[in-house]
Amino acid sequence: MGKRYFGTDGIRGRVGEHPITAEFMLKLGWAVGRVLQTPGFNKVVIGKDTRISGYMFESALEAGLSAAGVNIALLGPMPTPGIAYLTRTLHACAGIVVSASHNPYYDNGIKFFSRDGQKLPDQAEERIEALLEQPLVTAEPDALGKAERIVDAAGRYIEFCKSTIPASTSLAGLKIVVDCAHGATYYVAPSVFNELGATVIPIGVAPDGLNINQDCGSTHPAVLCETVKQHNADLGVALDGDGDRVIMVDHRGEILDGDELLFIIARDRLRAGSRFNAVVGTLMTNLGLEMALRALGLELRRARVGDRYVMEQLLAENLLLGGEGSGHIICLDRTSTGDGIVSALQVLSAMLRSEKSLHDLKAGMSKYPQTLINVSVTGRVDLERAPIQEAVRAAESQLGDHGRVLLRPSGTEPVVRVMVEGADAGAVERHARELAAVVRDTLSV
């Protein structure tokens, strides 16, 4: 069954445009409450990031859940992975995140966690959508849900983050710049690193409801790079608006993306004695990570683009580590979802164990040059047509074992993404341009 509202990461859009309206959120809260409550599990937790529309949607969801006869625990501003954690520890039947992640303030969205702190299965989302088409029926007055505010939510999550590295770990002596993107981690993240002993220079920690992700955070790291160099810091940590992504910056101001961080964590796990044979990436994961993992005796398994699909493959194959270049890293041996703060702590722990700087740690992996071209298309996209396949085979033959080609239709735009990777930057760019031209010419006929 196709879904009308749910995408790969919940429901998202521009505030005030259907379905991101107060009216829809009221009905959504009711439908979620009706579908997900079970005997003994009659509470839903709600957390949000710092965008101004969060107040409106939090209240609307609360009203809908109450009408469904479900109790509500309000967490206030809280990172997405913190909401997943508290959903589990508060024994809730579901967790709701009001956030549009790395999008600007004028967007918002809703994500859900099941009671085990993982994303909802497709069947649950389909049942919710089916109920949205039914009239809202309010529970009897004596069965309406009650709301409470969890006043120590941030403190609980801070302690959890600290527990994901050995208790003997101290960050004393490290100077760390932490960019919170004026988002949900603005209080939690500096507190975690500070309580572990680091000297913390916080930036992006003055949310006003409108400045979330604005020229800061994991999607705009330029200010972080400059701040690290300006303060002679050991490294920088950049989180996105809801705290489930992280990138890092070494003492030279050089960026480490999710692929490089995933490599550092995987290698450290092996050295610490963890037993696993593969790491999950996506179709867009840099070939350099695949080669570096192969040198460690590990395979790279590629899932579809999106952390949802990385998680599905991790669970299906009983693996521990996965992630995307965007910085969405999942350490299932530490938590149940992607967590920017926890991932950063795993990298810092690797630094301390190896007694190497972040710059030196990344030396074990070399990213391959990659060129991505978006080709605008109209109508049906058939990438199996002979001219396209012949061009792909020719490029792959010339790139050999140290290169790859990926063509895929976008899920959100009328474009075909043409990606080429290889050891030689000039050859990569040439092949990408040639392939893009073939795709454009073939699909326009």
Distance CA 384, CA 190 (A): 50
- Residue 170 appears among annotated catalytic residues: no
pLDDT of residue 1: 54
Q: Is residue 39 domain-resident?
A: yes
The rounded distance, in Å, linking the Cα atoms of 161 and 415 is: 40
What local confidence, expressed as pLDDT, does residue 372 receive? Answer: 94
Which of 103, 136, 151 lies at the terminal end of a domain, its last residue? 151
Report the alpha-carbon distance of residue 186 to residue 94 in Å, rounded.
24
What pLDDT, on the 0 to 100 scale, is given for residue 35?
Answer: 96
What DSSP letter does each residue of 215-229 carry, written as one string?
A: T-STT--HHHHHHHH
Tokens at residue 109, please?
A: 């969205």
28 & 144 share domain: yes
Last residue of a domain, one of 151, 172, 192: 151
Decide the pairing of beta strands 43-48 and 71-77.
parallel
Q: Which residues, 6 or more positions from 412, have their beta carbon under 8 angstroms from its beta carbon?
A: none
Regarding whether 143 and 165 lie in a shared domain, the answer is no
Helix 80-89 with 153-163: angle, nearest 10 deg: 100
Closest to 17 (Cα-Cα) out of 58, 49, 53: 53
Asked if 267 and 164 sit in the same domain, the reply is: no
**Of the residues 134, 151, 168, the one at which a domain ends:** 151
CATH number of the domain enclosing 87: 3.40.120.10
Tens-binned pLDDT, residue by residue, of the chain (445 aa): 578 999 878 999 999 999 999 999 999 999 999 999 988 889 999 999 999 999 999 999 999 999 999 999 999 999 999 999 999 999 999 999 999 999 999 999 999 999 999 989 889 999 999 999 999 999 999 999 999 999 999 999 999 999 999 999 999 999 999 999 999 999 999 999 999 999 999 999 999 999 999 999 999 999 999 999 999 999 999 999 999 999 999 999 999 999 999 999 999 999 999 999 999 999 999 999 999 999 999 999 999 988 889 999 999 999 999 999 999 999 999 999 999 999 999 999 999 999 999 999 999 899 999 999 999 988 788 999 999 999 999 999 999 988 999 999 876 678 999 999 999 999 999 999 999 999 999 998 6
Both 313 and 435 in a single domain? no
Co-location of 191 and 271 in the same domain: no
Under 8 Å between Cβ of 186 and 180: yes
Do 393 and 329 share a structural domain?
no
Counted domains in the chain: 4
- Among the listed residues 99, 101, 326, 349, the single catalytic one is 101
Whole-Å CA distances, 342 to 87, 90, 153, 244, 305: 17, 20, 17, 9, 22
Give the torsion sign (CA, 237, 242, 243, 245). Answer: negative
Residue 213, CB-side half-sphere exposure with 13 Å CA sphere:
21
Rounded CA separation 179/216 (Å): 7
Tell me how far apart the alpha carbons of residues 84 and 95 are, in angstroms, rounded to a whole number.
6
Domain that holds residue 398: 370-443
**pTM listed for this prediction:** 0.93
* 129 and 166 assigned to the same domain: no
β-strand 175-179 against 235-239: which pairing, if any?
parallel
Q: 234 near 227, Cβ under 8 Å? A: no
* 390 domain-assigned: yes
